[in-house]
């Protein structure tokens, strides 16, 4: 018997995952806009977020959260991190007991500093909570280019049972039991992507990008391990893999924000021109608080934060990084 999967969120990644899942299971997606729902059902497209992409024909779109989740055996949350709690609260009365809930968002909640699986566990105790993450640029995956991801659940048996639902053709899904590490890798790398984007926009060069990616990995690993993640996770798909893809691609929303900042645009103007959320912009606030909570030095994140929220220029950011005292590569800084 095919599992029934309910996907909440009709953005680029939510729709891409829904289209993949529809090849392996009975998939129903909820989107906020009625126009999106009608387009998916009638034309099997979502031009707003995935231009010129054809979705799996069996994917069904619905107008209400209740319709998407009430009969589902698995719930997939394709909702931006700052909205996930509100959407999950709406879904809660209609979700059957004990079914797994898999998060796609790569961010941290500003008000609580919580990871998305922590919010799921708080609102729906008893439901296995996990994350699908990795170097996954939605438009590339939907166009059929090879990619790999990680499905992370504390219970490895559940992860292995969910693995085939998300795997398709050239999209290869691995399992991992380190939910904390996988989730933090996905959230923290977005700030590094803004940093490398700033460098690229200011024409800082390939050497600068390589240094930012490498030191950025060391920085996010320090905080991730302090918060309970495993060091090995940050060397894998959810850490280094996602970091390299997001910091190097013009398809990355966070790199795009950084690039535009690097060319001199204001953050307000950049956000206004985008039709999707760049998670790193808001995650930067949380990461600065977490760095203080765990007493972990985060120099790159701090300079990005100052550009985003304190009016610093790109030149001041790079000058700030260069002024950090030089130490061992294995030490902070």
pLDDT tens track for 45-64: 999 999 989 999 999 999 99
* Cα distance between residue 258 and residue 186, in whole Å: 17
Residue 108 near residue 286, CB atoms below 8 Å: yes
The proportion of the chain whose per-residue pLDDT surpasses 70, expressed as a percent, equals: 96
* Cα distance between residue 303 and residue 199, in whole Å: 12
* Cα distance between residue 68 and residue 63, in whole Å: 8
pLDDT at 170: 87
Closest by Cα among 77, 158, 167 to 117 = 77
Tell if the pTM clears 0.95, that is, is over it.
Answer: no
Q: Evaluate if residue 329 carries a pLDDT over 70.
A: no
pLDDT at 324: 59
pLDDT at 328: 56
* Cα distance between residue 183 and residue 60, in whole Å: 28
**∠ CA 284-88-34 to the nearest 5 degrees?**
100
Closest by Cα among 117, 116, 113 to 289 = 113
pLDDT at 323: 65
pLDDT at 118: 97
Q: Tell which wins on pLDDT, 327 or 60.
A: 60
pLDDT in tens, 61-70: 999 999 999 9
User: What phi, psi does 72 have (nearest 5°)?
Assistant: -75, 145
DSSP letter assigned to residue 25: S
Lowest mean pLDDT among 108-117, 150-159, 279-288: 279-288
For domain 4-177, the CATH class is alpha beta
pLDDT at 77: 98
Q: Evaluate if residue 287 carries a pLDDT over 90.
A: yes
**∠ CA 291-237-122 to the nearest 5 degrees?**
55
* Cα distance between residue 304 and residue 313, in whole Å: 10
Domain ranges of the chain: 4-177, 189-322
CATH number for domain 189-322, candidates 3.40.50.11720, 1.20.120.1810, 1.10.1040.10, 1.20.1530.20: 1.10.1040.10
pLDDT at 55: 95
* Cα distance between residue 35 and residue 168, in whole Å: 28
Is residue 189 among the annotated active site residues?
yes
pLDDT in tens, 226-262: 999 999 999 999 999 999 999 998 888 999 999 999 9
Residue 6 near residue 69, CB atoms below 8 Å: yes
Choosing from 23, 34, 189, 285, which is the catalytic residue? 189
Going by the annotation, the residues of the binding site are 9-14, 32-33, 49, 106, 134, 138, 189, 242, 252-254, 277, 279
Q: Helix, strand, or coil here: 229?
A: coil
Confidence grade of residue 330 (pLDDT, cut at 50, 70, 90): low
The proportion of the chain whose per-residue pLDDT surpasses 90, expressed as a percent, equals: 82
Going by the annotation, the residues of the binding site for sn-glycerol 3-phosphate are 106, 134, 189, 242, 252-254
Confidence grade of residue 274 (pLDDT, cut at 50, 70, 90): confident
Place of tokens 């996990």: 130
pLDDT at 143: 81
Per the prediction, the chain carries an average pLDDT of 92
pLDDT at 327: 57
* Cα distance between residue 129 and residue 100, in whole Å: 6
pLDDT at 131: 98
> What average pLDDT does this structure show over 303-307?
94
Going by the annotation, the residues of the binding site for substrate are 106, 253-254
């Amino acid at each position: 018997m095919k599992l029934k999967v309910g996907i909440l969120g009709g953005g680029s990644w939510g729709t891409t995952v829904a289209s993949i899942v529809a090849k392996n299971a009975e998939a129903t997606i909820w989107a906020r806009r009625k126009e999106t729902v009608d387009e998916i059902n009638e034309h099997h497209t979502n031009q707003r977020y995935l231009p010129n992409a054809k979705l799996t024909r069996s994917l069904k779109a619905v107008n209400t959260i209740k319709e998407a989740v009430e009969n589902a055996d698995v719930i997939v949350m394709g909702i931006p991190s700052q909205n996930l709690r509100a959407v999950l609260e709406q879904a809660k009365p209609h979700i059957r007991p004990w079914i797994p809930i898999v998060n796609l968002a790569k961010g941290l909640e500003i008000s609580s500093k919580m990871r998305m699986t922590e919010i799921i566990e708080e609102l729906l105790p008893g439901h296995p909570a996990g994350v699908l993450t990795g170097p996954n640029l939605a438009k590339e995956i939907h166009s059929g280019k090879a990619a790999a991801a990680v499905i992370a659940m504390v219970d490895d048996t559940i992860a292995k049972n969910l693995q085939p639902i998300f795997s398709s053709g050239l999209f290869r899904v691995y399992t991992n039991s380190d939910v904390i590490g996988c989730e933090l890798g996905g959230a923290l790398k977005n700030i590094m992507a803004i940093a490398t984007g700033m460098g690229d926009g200011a024409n800082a060069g390939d050497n600068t990008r390589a240094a930012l990616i490498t030191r950025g990995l060391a920085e996010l690993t320090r905080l991730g391990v302090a918060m309970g993640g495993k060091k090995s996770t940050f060397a894998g798909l959810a850490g280094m893999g996602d970091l390299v893809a997001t910091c190097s691609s013009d398809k990355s929303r966070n790199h795009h924000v950084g690039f535009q900042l690097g060319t001199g645009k204001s953050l307000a103007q950049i956000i206004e021109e985008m039709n999707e959320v760049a998670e790193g912009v808001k995650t930067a606030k949380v990461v600065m608080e977490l760095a203080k909570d765990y007493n972990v030095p985060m120099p790159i994140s701090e300079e990005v934060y100052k550009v985003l929220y304190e009016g610093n220029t790109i030149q001041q950011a790079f000058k700030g990084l260069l002024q950090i005292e030089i130490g061992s590569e294995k030490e902070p800084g």
